[in-house]
A and B are shown apart, each in its own frame.
Chain A
């Protein structure tokens, strides 16, 4: 399984873009990168995923390097409600299903 490495914590000013990096240098060609977040005392919430192309949805953008060894999650205009732990995950693949294991993630603090 591909291991991911994230900084333990980051701060971001409210209204600014939050850029959360992730290294996944052992990722294989058909493995996706997923991002989830966990707001305090809630269950994890899916944000976005991608394979090799950059992706954007209503929550965030995902930029994946050409060699796929790292990616960056971008929250374009961070709000206080974005304060959470963000997890970059490369799920293990079972018989058609994904097995999600969590690392320590990045604790993002959005500052007023």
Chain B
């Protein structure tokens, strides 16, 4: 299993500013994911973060808006840049499950960062 800690748990930010969200895992993991959950909606995958390489972004998300760092195997950050009220969401990080042969494990999720942009 993996225990994931996110900081901050919530924040209220002014439009035009940036917020960096931290995700700490209690074990070394290769692949991490960042999600956004807009009010009343399901989770949408933002990007895949592999240690030692550039993050891979899903359609509709760009690095300039959501830069991601992955400096080591237990930590990642997501920055929400130049924020607008439309960025008000819950942002979650996740540790990937593995597959292959007899090993098919589940994904683990942080409790999320609730961001409100005013």
List A residues at the B interface (Cβ < 8 Å): 32, 34, 36, 38, 41-46, 49, 51, 85, 87, 91, 93-94, 96-105
Question: Is there contact, CB below 8 Å, between B31 and A94?
Answer: yes
Give B104-115 as 1s and 0s: 1 = Cβ < 8 Å from A's Cβ atoms: 101111111010
Q: Chain A interface: which of B13-21, B64-72, B76-84, B92-100?
A: B92-100
Q: Does the CB pair A98–B111 fall under 8 Å?
A: no
Q: How far is the CA of A101 from the CA of B45 in the complex (A)?
A: 6
Q: How far is A45 from B43 in the complex, measured between Cα atoms in Å?
A: 13
Docked pose: A98 CA to B32 CA in angstroms: 10
Contact of A43 among B30, B42, B111 (CB under 8 A): B111
Indicate which residue in B30, B44, B99, B110 contacts A102 across the interface (CB closer than 8 Å): B44
Contact between A96 and B106, CB atoms less than 8 A apart? no
Of residues 13 to 39 in B, which have CB atoms within 8 Å of A's CB atoms? 30-31, 33, 35
Q: How far is the CB of B113 from chain A (nearest CB, A)?
A: 10
Could you say which residues of chain A place their CB within 8 Å of the CB of B30?
A: 96-97
Q: Which residues of B contact A (CB under 8 A)?
A: 4, 30-31, 33, 35, 42-45, 48, 92, 94, 96-100, 104, 106-112, 114
The answer to whether A97 touches B98, judged by C-beta atoms less than 8 angstroms apart, is: yes
B109 close to A98 (CB less than 8 A): no
A99 CA to B33 CA in the complex, in Å? Answer: 8
* CA gap between A96 and B104 in the complex, in Å: 10
> Which among A42, A91, A96, A102 is the interface contact of B42 at CB below 8 angstroms?
A102
Question: Which residues of B sit under 8 angstroms from A91, Cβ to Cβ?
Answer: 97, 99, 107
- Nearest-CB residue, chain B, relative to A42: B111
Give the nearest-CB partner of B92 in chain A: A43
Which of the residues A38, A85, A97 comes within 8 Å of B99, measured between beta carbons? A97
Question: B31 to chain A: which residues have CB within 8 Å?
Answer: 94, 97
- Pair B107/A98 contact, Cβ less than 8 Å: yes
